[in-house]
Amino acid sequence: MPDIKHFDPDTALDRAVTLFWQRGTDATGIADVVQATGLSRSSLYATFGGKAQLQAAALSRYLELRSRPVFEALAADIRGVPAIAAFFERLVAARCAGEHARWGCLVTNTHATASGGRPEIREILDRHHDALRMAMRTALETARADGQLRADLDVEAAAEALTLQAYAVNLRSRAGAEAAVLLAGVRAVLDGFTTTEER
Amino acid sequence: MPDIKHFDPDTALDRAVTLFWQRGTDATGIADVVQATGLSRSSLYATFGGKAQLQAAALSRYLELRSRPVFEALAADIRGVPAIAAFFERLVAARCAGEHARWGCLVTNTHATASGGRPEIREILDRHHDALRMAMRTALETARADGQLRADLDVEAAAEALTLQAYAVNLRSRAGAEAAVLLAGVRAVLDGFTTTEER
DNA sequence: CCTATCTTGGAATAACCGTTCCAAGATAGG
DNA sequence: CCTATCTTGGAACGGTTATTCCAAGATAGG
């Protein structure tokens, strides 16, 4: 009996993700979302229920659609250290050039915002952090099994360090940092983890 | 002949710094600054000239008063790698406990905000980045002269890497990261830079 | 003491924020 | 085709935003 939605919620959510990602969540108004999606305020509120929930949904969708696949590719890459290097090369490239250049990472950006303190948002930030850290750990363990790593390296700590390094790359790229500089920094960390023979 | 100011501009600016640092610049309204400083809107605008300029002044003051002294202490510390380790230990301690716990770093936070794109703000961010990187480089060169570093370490790249690591510590601490985890990550990076005999 | 000149307090303003509401429109089962 | 039920467009709302303005007050040189 009832009417059905005249639009695709996921498509609309993707538009919101783009806005929040590029301009910043706090700087993006509902009016901007209305204009970008083409749908009305009524439909927006009926579907997502307010800006806070829309932000949480957008952040979660960014994590699952933008971050997760890359993390899974890293964890599945059996090359070890070269897999991690490739991850960072593609990360830096995406952050400094192309369609999303200088946008940073929506999750990383959210860390510094006021909304980053809300429990529901915080939970997504932690989920993102754990996902990346675990992927790094898997890649490092593969590298260890292949004898690519220093014997005394703490894999757990190294995974955390690389995850932190990725956050900083996201952050600094938004402020215009050069790709070569970011890559050199990442490589310095990675080189410190590998065996002398590997270098 | 004219009247003089009935307040100390620097004291008022410090109050603004505290607000921007804790709550976030975008989330802090002029009304909040008025209340925290105790002075009126007229005096605020006559002295600082609008929120954008107030933000730039506050960010610059944070850099000179909060960051710069710590950077200079790092550069002046002749211990080398232990000096860098001490820098990070105090950083993590300050970010996770005490008066400013979970506030992050005002400069780091600003990277992710919309205002971080404005040229005047961007210039301060770069100034901060260069200051920390140079301090790291000086400490690393001291360490190198003392034979504490791996022979093939690129000091320039290592300084960038440590600077990036500091940003990530600032960022993640605001989201509630544990001090021990952050320290372990930092130590993993630092251990990778030192000679095997030092470990 | 007087007056030119700045500072100060606080009201006023216009734009914008997220959110709500309701009449009109669209849909699909009966 | 009819109708119950949801969706949609768009106006409206109260609150907050940064900013401006002006009369009243304070200051210090003459």
What pLDDT, on the 0 to 100 scale, is given for residue B113? 94
Report the alpha-carbon distance of residue B194 to residue B199 in Å, rounded: 7
DSSP assignment letter at B26: T
Mean pLDDT by 10 residues, chain A (199 residues): 86 97 97 95 96 98 98 98 98 98 98 93 98 98 97 97 98 98 98 77
Per-residue confidence at B197, pLDDT binned at 50, 70, 90? low
Across the range B84-101, mean pLDDT stands at 98
H or E element that contains A70: helix A68-76
- The fraction of chain B above a pLDDT of 70, given in percent, is 97
pLDDT tens track for B9-57: 999 999 999 999 999 999 999 999 999 999 999 999 999 999 999 999 9
Q: Do A160 and B184 touch (CB under 8 A)?
A: yes
Contact B188 A153 (CB under 8 A): yes
Residues of A in contact with B59 (CB under 8 A): none
The 10s digit of each residue's pLDDT in B128-152 is: 999 999 999 999 999 999 999 999 9
**Is residue B198 scored above 70 in pLDDT?**
no
Which residues on chain B are in Cβ contact (under 8 Å) with A133?
none
Question: Can you give the pLDDT at residue A2?
Answer: 80
Give me the pLDDT at residue A4, please.
83
Q: What is the pLDDT of residue B3?
A: 80
Mean per-residue pLDDT, B75-88: 98
The pLDDT, as a whole number, for residue B6 is 87
Count CA atoms within 13 Å of residue B111 on its CB side: 35
Out of A152, A172, A186, the one facing B167 most closely (by C-beta) is A172
Q: Is B79 helix (H, G, I), strand (E, B) or coil?
A: coil
Q: Is B112 in contact with A24 (Cβ distance < 8 A)?
A: yes
> Coil, strand, or helix at residue A49?
coil
- Which single residue has its CA nearest the C1' atom of nucleotide D2? A1
Q: Is it the case that residue B199 has pLDDT exceeding 50?
A: no
Cβ contacts of B172 within 8 Å, gap of 6 or more = A111, A129, A164, A167, B182
What does the pLDDT look like over A29-69, one tens digit per residue?
999 999 999 999 999 999 999 999 999 999 999 999 999 99
Mean per-residue pLDDT, B144-168: 97
Q: What is the pLDDT of residue B184?
A: 98
**Gap from A186 CA to C16 C1', Å:** 43
Cβ proximity of A44 and A37 under 8 Å: yes
Contact call for A165 and B163, based on CB within 8 A: no
Determine, for residues A114 and B181 on separate chains, whether the beta-carbon distance falls below 8 Å. no
B199: DSSP letter: -
Residue type, A126: D
Q: Is the CB of B3 under 7 A from strand D?
A: yes
Contacts of B151 (CB under 8 A, 6+ apart): B195
CA of A50 to C1' of C27 (A): 26
- List chain B residues with CB under 8 Å of A113: 24, 26-27, 112-113
DSSP state of B193: H
Nearest residue to B165 (alpha-carbon basis) of B138, B193, B143, B124: B193
CA-CA distance, B86 to B131, in Å (whole number)? 18
Of B158, B172, B199, the CB nearest to A167: B172
Which single residue is written with the structure tokens 């500089």?
A: A181
Residue A197 Cβ under 7 A from any strand C atom: no
Chain A residues in contact with B156 by the CB 8 A cut-off are 184
Beta bridge partners of B194: B149
* Measured distance CA(B37)–CA(B86) in Å, rounded: 35
Cβ of residue A42 lies below 7 Å from strand C? yes
Contacting residues 26-55/B vs strand D (CB within 7 A): 28-32, 41-42, 45, 50-52
Q: What own/partner pairs with CB < 8 Å and gap ≥ 24 does B141-144 have?
A: B142/B77, B142/B78, B142/B79, B142/B80, B142/B83, B143/B80, B143/B81, B143/B83, B143/B84, B143/B194, B144/B80
Q: What is the CA radius of gyration of chain A?
A: 19
CB A16 within 8 A of CB A7: no
What is the rounded average pLDDT of the residues B181-194?
A: 98
The structure tokens listed for B76 are 């002046």
Q: How far is the CA of A151 from the C1' of C17 (A)?
A: 57
Set of chain A residues whose Cβ sits within 8 Å of the Cβ of B153:
188, 191-192
The mean pLDDT of B159-169, rounded to a whole number, is: 98
**Residue A199 has what pLDDT?**
44
Q: Which pLDDT score is estimated for A13?
A: 97
pLDDT at A198: 43
The number of helix segments (H) and strand segments (E) in chain A equals 10, 0
Mean pLDDT (chain B) is 96
State how far Cα A28 lies from the chain centre: 19
CA closest to D11 C1', residue: A41
Residue A197 is predicted with a pLDDT of 53
CB A39 within 7 Å, strand D: yes
Q: Are A155 and A138 in contact (CB under 8 A)?
A: no
Question: Which bases along strand D come within 7 Å of a protein CB atom?
Answer: 3-12, 16-22, 25-29
Q: Could you give the CA distance from residue A147 to residue A197 in angstroms, rounded to a whole number?
A: 10
Using the CA of B5, which nucleotide's C1' is the nearest one?
A: C7
Domains of chain B: 9-193 (1.10.357.10)
Interacting residues of B164 by C-beta distance below 8 A, sequence separation 6+: A164, A165, A168, A169, A172, A182, A185
> Reduced to 3 DSSP states, what percent helix, strand and coil does chain A have, rounded to the nearest 5?
75, 0, 25
Sorted by sequence, the CB contacts under 8 Å of residue B147 that are 6+ apart come out as B195
Please give the Cα distance from B27 to B104 (Å, whole number). 15
Q: Which is higher by pLDDT, B62 or A196?
A: B62
B-chain CB neighbours of A110 within 8 Å are: 112
